[in-house]
Amino acid sequence: MGRDGRVAINMRLSVLAGFLEQGRHLNVYEWATAEAARTGAKREGVLRAKLGRFYERLMAFEAGFERGEEFRYGALNMEGCGVCHYGEFCTVYRSDFPAASEVAYLRGDSLRKYVSADAKVDDVAVRRDAAPHGRRQCLATMKHSADVVSTEQSRWPDLLCSNSDHAPDFVEAVFVGEATCAGLQAARVPQGEHDRYFADLFEESRGALSAARGSLLDTFIRVKEHLDALGVPLEVIADA
Amino acid sequence: MLRVVAVASSDGWAFVEDGGRLFLVRPPFTAASKAEVSDAVVARAVSEHGFNATDREFGSWGELIGFLEEGITSHAAPALSRFERLQRMLPHATAEVVDLYLDRIESELLPQGQWRPARLLLEQLLVLDGVTTRPALLKRAVGLLGECTAAETTAMDAREELVHDPDLLAERVPLAAAKYGATALARYLRGTAPG
Q: In A, which residues are within 8 Å of B36 by CB distance?
A: 165-166
Q: Checking phi first, is residue A119 left (phi over 0); if not, alpha (psi -120 to 50) or beta?
A: left
Q: How far is A168 from A151, CA to CA, in rounded Å?
A: 18
Question: Does B92 sit within 8 Å of A219, measured CB to CB?
Answer: no
- Listing from the earlier edge strand, what are the strands of the sheet with B21-25? B35-37, B21-25, B13-18, B2-8, B52-58
Identify which of A190, A183, A220 has the alpha carbon closest to the alpha carbon of residue A72: A183
| Distance in Å from the first CA to the final CA of chain A | 18
Distance from CA of A125 to the nearest CA of B (A): 18
The answer to whether residues A36 and A43 touch, using CB atoms and an 8 Å cutoff, is yes
- The 10s digit of each residue's pLDDT in B51-82 is 999 999 999 999 999 999 999 999 999 999 99
pLDDT in tens, chain A (240 residues): 446 789 999 999 999 999 999 999 999 999 999 999 999 999 999 999 999 999 998 889 998 898 999 999 999 998 889 999 999 999 999 998 899 889 999 999 999 899 998 889 999 999 999 999 999 999 999 999 888 888 888 888 888 888 876 778 999 999 998 889 999 999 999 999 999 999 999 999 999 999 999 999 999 999 999 999 999 999 999 886
Distance from CA of A28 to the nearest CA of B (A): 6
Q: Find the CB nearest B37 among A73, A85, A195.
A: A85
The answer to whether residues A182 and A91 touch, using CB atoms and an 8 Å cutoff, is no
The answer to whether residues A205 and A158 touch, using CB atoms and an 8 Å cutoff, is no
Question: Does B75 sit within 8 Å of A201, measured CB to CB?
Answer: no
- In residues, how long is chain A? 240
Task: Name the DSSP class of A161.
Answer: E
- The 10s digit of each residue's pLDDT in B128-186 is 999 999 999 999 999 999 999 999 999 889 888 888 888 898 998 999 999 999 888 88
- The 10s digit of each residue's pLDDT in B8-28 is 999 999 999 999 999 999 999
pTM for this entry: 0.90
Distance from CA of B174 to the nearest CA of A (A): 30
